[in-house]
Amino acid sequence: MFLPMKRYLIFLMPLWLLACEVDSPLVAPTREPVTLAVPAHFPQAPIPASNVLTEAKIKLGKQLFFDPILSKDQTLSCASCHPPENAFADPRAFSLGVGGVSGDEPSKRRNAPALFNVVYHQNFFWDGSNPSLETQILFPIESPFEMANKVDTVLKRLRAHPEYPRLFWQTFQDSISAKTLTDAIASFERSLISAGSKFDQFMASGMDSTVFTAAEWRGYKLFFLESAGNNHAECFHCHGGFNFDDPEGRFRNNGLYSFYQDFGRYNVTGNPLDVGKFKVPSLRNIEYTAPYMHDGSLETLEEVLAHYASGGKPHPNRDILIGNIQMTEEEQRDIIAFLMTLSDPDFVNNPAHRPED
């Protein structure tokens, strides 16, 4: 069965339709399990048995994601810090919570990461302190530096709402609870598949290099090959796999600082060897997700590449690969040209990712 790339992205296919003709009418019973359609170079998206994916949950989850009802003073929604036009990343270095407050210590002042292909993530937050999308959701609701609310207050409000009790019942055949609330939002987040970039066209073409411009192709080779000339960018060792992150969710120190204000992974493990290690972010849609790094300290890709070309700052935990990197300015520009092929404009413009009014 062949689907052109764009249709791959848009359709959530009910399981019972998978074996049928693509053109059959797609009238999905909303509580039927659906599977996320992804291209062949993506692994099958893992859905937990405890929260089977349905179109109804995705729809309700989207409504909740965009609804400020979740925050204490009803001013902030998830999308306030995760706007869809920036691939759900915050364009501000640090997000501001209810009342304009920011975190009282460095590990609570982090750049809000993009949300796409999160269905594949092994852990959540820059230090990996959260194990699942479902448990993650309770954190921003209750954090005094984010929504500053209480889950019980949210549940009371939703139960008193003119629409939500009916919508939850239709979706779950169950009432409003922390479980149904988080299951719905997590389902929406899982539906955020981004696989429509020029790089994905290249993969779908059987890796035909003519898909790329000369500069993009030079950048591709520098990114992936250790033997491209005398210089090597080493990027793929850490930003690897179909999603350009660490498929196993490992943490690395990329030499951003000699002294880290935010100790990163160390905050979770207490192991001195983890100071300054952070989750490796995906480089897909990087064009839309500035500023960069856990603290949003680098504003442009030029600054990011200059950072890597310098070999990073000395730190006992700096990854050995970082010190090895060598790139001329022209090579840095070529890598940026390649990184631009990871943009998925259909993803950031997808009306299915915007609130319905």
Comparing CA positions, the residue from 348, 230, 237, 236 lying closest to residue 286 is: 348
**Among the listed residues 53, 58, 119, 137, the single contact to ligand HEC using CB under 6 A:** 137
Identify the sign of the CA torsion 156, 158, 163, 169: negative
Considering only residues 35 through 64, tell me which ones interact with ligand HEC, judged by CB under 6 A: none
Q: Is there binding between residue 340 and ligand HEC (CB under 6 A)?
A: no
**Among the listed residues 36, 37, 60, 293, the single contact to ligand HEC using CB under 6 A:** 293
The answer to whether 252 and 284 are in contact (CB under 8 A) is no
What 3-state class would DSSP assign to 245? strand
**Among the listed residues 56, 119, 283, 348, the single contact to ligand HEC using CB under 6 A:** 283
Give CA–CA dist 167/62, Å, rounded.
Answer: 12
Considering only residues 221 through 250, tell me which ones interact with ligand HEC, judged by CB under 6 A: 233-235, 237-239
**Among the listed residues 12, 38, 70, 268, the single contact to ligand HEC using CB under 6 A:** 70
Q: Is there binding between residue 118 and ligand HEC (CB under 6 A)?
A: yes
**Among the listed residues 17, 280, 340, 342, the single contact to ligand HEC using CB under 6 A:** 280
Count of residues for the chain?
Answer: 357
The answer to whether 279 and 127 are in contact (CB under 8 A) is yes
Number of residues that bind ligand HEC (CB under 6 A): 51
Q: Is there binding between residue 348 and ligand HEC (CB under 6 A)?
A: no
Measured from the CB atom, the residue of 111 and 204 that comes closer to ligand HEC is 111
Give CA–CA dist 245/194, Å, rounded.
Answer: 14
What's the closest the beta carbon of residue 269 comes to ligand HEC, in angstroms? Answer: 15
The answer to whether 184 and 60 are in contact (CB under 8 A) is yes
What's the closest the beta carbon of residue 296 comes to ligand HEC, in angstroms? Answer: 8
Identify which range of 13-21, 113-121, 203-211, 347-355 contacts ligand HEC by CB under 6 A.
113-121
Identify which range of 40-48, 170-178, 198-206, 315-323 contacts ligand HEC by CB under 6 A.
315-323
What's the closest the beta carbon of residue 29 comes to ligand HEC, in angstroms? Answer: 26
Q: Is there binding between residue 266 and ligand HEC (CB under 6 A)?
A: no
What's the closest the beta carbon of residue 301 comes to ligand HEC, in angstroms? Answer: 6
Identify which range of 10-18, 112-120, 149-157, 205-213 contacts ligand HEC by CB under 6 A.
112-120
Give CA–CA dist 254/308, Å, rounded.
Answer: 8
Comparing CA positions, the residue from 170, 166, 188 lying closest to residue 34 is: 188
Q: Is there binding between residue 125 and ligand HEC (CB under 6 A)?
A: yes
Give CA–CA dist 58/356, Å, rounded.
Answer: 13
The answer to whether 203 and 41 are in contact (CB under 8 A) is yes
Q: 240: buried, middle or exposed (CB in 10 Å: 19+, 13-18, 0-12)?
A: middle
Comparing CA positions, the residue from 75, 176, 80 lying closest to residue 184 is: 176
Give CA–CA dist 120/249, Å, rounded.
Answer: 10
Concatenating the DSSP letter of every residue in 186-198 gives HHHHHT-----SH
Q: Give residue 208's identity as a one-letter amino acid code.
A: D
Which spans of this chain sit near ligand HEC (rule: CB under 6 A)?
70, 76, 78, 80-82, 95, 97, 110, 112-113, 115, 118, 121, 124-126, 133, 136-137, 140-141, 146-147, 185, 189, 233-235, 237-239, 252, 254, 256, 278, 280-281, 283, 286, 289, 292-294, 304, 308, 319, 321-322, 325, 335
